[in-house]
Amino acid sequence: MDRMISESWNLPSQFETTWNGLNVTAEQSFLDANWDKKCTDQFTHFEPVLSSNLGFSNDFALRELIGKLSIVNSGGLPATPDGAAAAMAVATNDDSTKSSCYSTPSNSSPKLHFPILDQINMRHLGNSLPLTPPLPALSCDPGFAERAAKFSCFGSRSFNGRTSPFGSINAMENFNLNRVSSSPSLKQAGSPVENKNLNQSQTEFRSLGGMVDKKWNKLSGAGAYSDEASSVSEQIPSGELGSKTPNEHNSRKRKAISKGKAKENTSTSAKGFEDYNNPKTKRSKPQEISKNENDDVKAEEEAKLNPNGAEDESEKQKENQKPPEPPKDYIHVRARRGQATDSHSLAERVRREKISERMKFLQDLVPGCNKVTGKALMLDEIINYVQLLQHRVEFLSMKLASVNTRLDFDMENLHSKDIFQEKGNLPQQMYPLHSSASVFYNHQSQQNIQLNDAHISRGPLNQYSMDPLDAHNPGIQLSSIDGFGESLTQFPAFSGHDLQSIIQMGFDKDPVKETAFHSDSFHVPNQTSHMKVEL
Amino acid sequence: MKARTGYSTSLKQEFLKKWIKGIRIYSNFKKDMNILERKKAIKLSADLAIASTRNASTRWSRTLTANISKNETNKLFVEQIFSDSEVIKKEAPSRLMARSNRIASKKIWRRSHITQIKARKMGPYAVKASSIAKKLVKNRTKVLKSLVPGGENMDGISLIKETLDYIVSLRVQVDVMRRLASAAENSTRLGLSSKCSVHWLQGIFTVLDHWCAMVH
C-alpha cells in the first residue's frame, strides 16, 4: 500500500487535472452540504476505500472511488453518485471513464447533471474563492451533498496548494482561511470535529509540503490509514504536493508531521514515528528523526529548537486539549549544535527540559518564586509553601472546631456580605506563628500569646481578671458566655480534659506544629475557663 | 486567568459540599466529641473531600485516602462517605511496586556511572561543583517527597506535577476553610440570638448551608 501510494504521487499531472476537476465541482456545487456528524461517519466508511484506491493511477482511482461511493451509498441515495460521477467525468473529459462511471450507479438522474455542468463551465480552475450559494437541484440530496462536501474538503486543499506558488506559506494561509471561512456548512454541524481536522490537516499539509524524502512519504502514507477520515484525505493531496514542492519548510513540516503523527495511532513505531502522550504539557517542536532511542522513556520533548514558534504553539495548545495520546516507544530528538549526541545525554536533556517546564508552572503558583532562579532555591520556596499551606489547614480546622463551641447562628441575621466578607481578620502570612495567632484572635480578645503561654501553667483564673474582652465588645462576651455555658453543660469535662489533651498534643508533635498548636490551643481553654470564671 | 478562577470556584464548591457531607456523617458516628476530636473530624473530612475532588486521578489523592482509610476507625467513615467512587484505592500499590523498582534500578545505574561520564566530559573541578548543586537539589526533593502524600516513589518529573496539583488543592482547602471561619466569626460578632445549639455542628451547618445557597 505504501509503495503504491508513493508511486501514485509520481503522476502529478493527471492527478492534478482530475483533482482539479473534482475540486471545482465539489466546491461549486456542494456548498450547501449539511455537515452533520453522519457525514463524518459516512466518510469513515470510505476511508479504507480511499486509501486502497489511491494506490492506483489517478483517473482510475477516482473512478473507483466514485464507484465505491455509489455502491456503499446505493441504499440511501441513488441519485447522488450520479452527480459526483458526472461531475468527475466531465472534469476528466474522458469518455471511456464516463461510461465506467455511469455503469456503477444504480439509478441515473439526468437532471442533476446539468446544473453541475453549468457550474463547472462558469468556474475556472484558478478559483480558490469561497463557495457560492447552493444549487437547488442538489438540495434534494443531502447525502450527496455531504459526500460532495467531503470531496470539496478533499479536493480544494490540494487544489489551493497547487495554485499557489509552491511552498509559499501565504497561499496555505489563505487556503486555511478560505477553508475555514468559506464553508458555513462546515461550521454548522460537526464543525468542531471538522475544524480540528482542519487544524491537523493544516499542519500536516504544511509539513508535508516540503517533503521529498521517501521515508517521509512512507510515513505520511502510512499515516493515511489512520482513523481520521479527513486527515486521510488531506494527506493524500498534500503528500502528492510534497513530492512536487521543494524542501522549503523542512522545519515546520517536521514539527507538524510529528504532531500529525501524534494524532494517528500508528503502529509502525519501529519506523520512527513520534507520538506524544500527556497532552497537558506542551509538546515540543519535534526534530528530525536523527536517531532512534531504544529506551522506552515515556517522555515528551520539550526542546524548542525551532524559531517558528507562534503558530505551532497555538496549534499545540489546541492539541493539548485532546485526549491523551497512546504511549510511545521512542523519543526522537535532534542534537543541538555543539552538544553531545549520545543517547543518554539526549534523554537527560529531554528530562531536564521537562522539569524546567514544570518548574515554570510552579513559579506561577508559588508566590514569590519569580525572583528565584535555580532549581534548589525554587524547590526551597516550594517546600516552604507546601508546609505553610499544610499548617494553615491544621490551624483552620482547629479554629473551626473551637468556633463551633459557640452558639448557634441565627440565620436571619446572616447576611451574604458578612459571609463572604473576606478574611480581613486572618493574617496572610503565618510564618510568625505566634504573632499571627494573636492577630487572629485579636478582635475577640486582645490577649497576647505571651500571656497565654505564660499563664497557662499557673491556671486559667489569673489573667482573666483584666480581660480585655470586657473593653472590646460586650456583645460578644455575653453571647459567648451563653454559648460556653451551654457547651460546658453539655461537655462537662470540656475545659479540663480538653486542656490536658491539647497540651499533650502540642508536646507530642514536632516543633513546628507544636508552635502552631501552642498558640491556638492555649487560647481556647482560656476562653472556656474565662467563661467559667464569669459564670 | 478567568478560566482559572472559574475552575477554582467550582472546585471550591465541590470541596465544600463534600466536606459538609463528611462532617455530618462523622458527627452522626460520634456524638459528644471534645475539641480535639472535632478538629480531627473537620480536618479528616476536609482532606477526604479535597482528595475526592481529584477522583483518584492523581497520586497524592489516592495516597491521602489510602492513608486515612488505614486507620480502622476511619475506615467505616470513609466507606460511608464514598460509597460511590473510591474503589481505586486498591490500584495504587501494584503500580507503585513496579514503578519504584524501575526507578530504583535506574538510580543505581545513574549513580554509578554519572560521575564517570561527567569527569570525562568536563574537568574535575566542574564535576565537583555540579555534584554539589545536585546534592542540594536532591536533598530538597527528598523533603518535598516527604511533604507531598504519595511522593516517595515518584521521579522528579511527576513529583513536580503532583506538587502542582497538590498545591492547588491545598489552596482551595485553605481558602474555603478560612472563609468559613471568618464567616462564623462575623456572625458571632453580630451578636446573634441567644438560642444555643444542641449540637456543636449545627452552627457550622447553618453557616455552610447558607453559604452554599449563596454560592449556587
Picking from A339, A358, A419 by the largest number of B CB atoms within 10 A of its own CB, the best residue to mutate is A419
A413 lies within 8 A of chain B by CB = yes
Q: Do A362 and B164 touch (CB under 8 A)?
A: yes
Which tens digit of pLDDT belongs to each residue from B71-90? 767 767 767 666 555 544 44
Q: Do A355 and B189 touch (CB under 8 A)?
A: no
Cβ contacts (< 8 Å) between B179 and chain A: which residues?
419-420, 422-423
B16 lies within 8 A of chain A by CB = no
pLDDT bracket for residue B59 (50, 70, 90): confident
Closest to B211 in 3D by CA, of A426, A416, A405, A422: A416
Tell me how close the Cα of B10 comes to any Cα of chain A, in angstroms.
16
Closest to A129 in 3D by CA, of A156, A148, A166, A153: A156
Tell me how close the Cα of A397 comes to any Cα of chain B, in angstroms.
5
Query: Phi then psi for A301, rounded to 5 degrees?
Result: -85, 135
B213 lies within 8 A of chain A by CB = no
Identify the pLDDT of residue B191. Answer: 59
Question: Number of helices and strands (H, E) in chain A?
Answer: 24, 0
A228 DSSP 8-state letter: -
Q: For residue B178, what is its C-alpha cell?
A: 478560612
Measured over the CA atoms of residue A39, residue A40, residue A42 and residue A48, the dihedral's sign is positive
Which tens digit of pLDDT belongs to each residue from A204-246? 444 444 444 444 444 444 444 444 444 444 444 444 444 444 4
A421 lies within 8 A of chain B by CB = yes
Helix (H, G, I), strand (E, B) or coil at B204: helix
Which residues 30-59 in chain B show a CB within 8 A of chain A? Answer: 32, 34-36, 38-39, 41-43, 46-47
B212 lies within 8 A of chain A by CB = no
The highest-confidence range among A22-36, A151-165, A322-336, A409-423, by mean pLDDT, is: A322-336
- C-alpha neighbours within 13 Å on the C-beta side of residue B179: 22
Closest to B30 in 3D by CA, of B85, B76, B82, B86: B76
Q: Do A409 and B187 touch (CB under 8 A)?
A: yes
Closest chain A residue to B209 measured between Cα atoms?
A411
Residue B160 clears pLDDT 80, i.e. is over it: yes
A382 lies within 8 A of chain B by CB = yes
Query: Where are the extended beta strands (E) located within A262-309?
Result: none
ipTM (interface predicted TM)? 0.80
B203 lies within 8 A of chain A by CB = yes
Burial of A292 (0-12, 13-18, 19+ CB in 10 A): middle
Cβ contacts (< 8 Å) between A495 and chain B: which residues?
none
Q: Do B202 and A497 touch (CB under 8 A)?
A: no
Q: Do B204 and A404 touch (CB under 8 A)?
A: yes
Asked whether the beta carbons of A281 and A325 are under 8 A apart, the reply is: no
Q: What is the DSSP string of B31-81?
A: -S--HHHHHHHHHHHHHHHHHHTTTT-SHHHHHHHHHHHHSHHHHHHHHHH
Which tens digit of pLDDT belongs to each residue from A40-98? 455 455 444 444 444 444 555 555 555 555 554 444 444 444 444 444 444 444 444 44
pLDDT bracket for residue A189 (50, 70, 90): very low
Which tens digit of pLDDT belongs to each residue from A381-426? 889 999 999 999 999 888 888 876 554 333 334 444 444 444 444 4
Which tens digit of pLDDT belongs to each residue from A108-149? 444 444 444 444 444 544 444 444 444 444 444 555 555 555
**Mean per-residue pLDDT for A256-265?**
43
Identify the pLDDT of residue B49. Answer: 83
Cβ contacts (< 8 Å) between A493 and chain B: which residues?
34
Q: Chains A, B: CB contacts under 8 A, how many?
A: 217
Identify the pLDDT of residue A506. Answer: 60
A176-184's contacts with Cβ under 8 Å and 24+ in sequence apart are: A176/A202, A178/A128, A178/A129, A178/A130, A179/A153, A181/A130, A182/A129, A182/A130, A182/A131, A183/A31, A183/A33, A183/A35, A183/A130, A183/A131, A183/A149, A183/A152
* Average confidence score pLDDT of chain A: 50
The highest-confidence range among A266-275, A336-345, A386-395, by mean pLDDT, is: A386-395
pTM attached to this predicted model: 0.42
Residue of B42, B163, B196 lying closest to A482 (CB–CB): B196
A264 DSSP 8-state letter: S
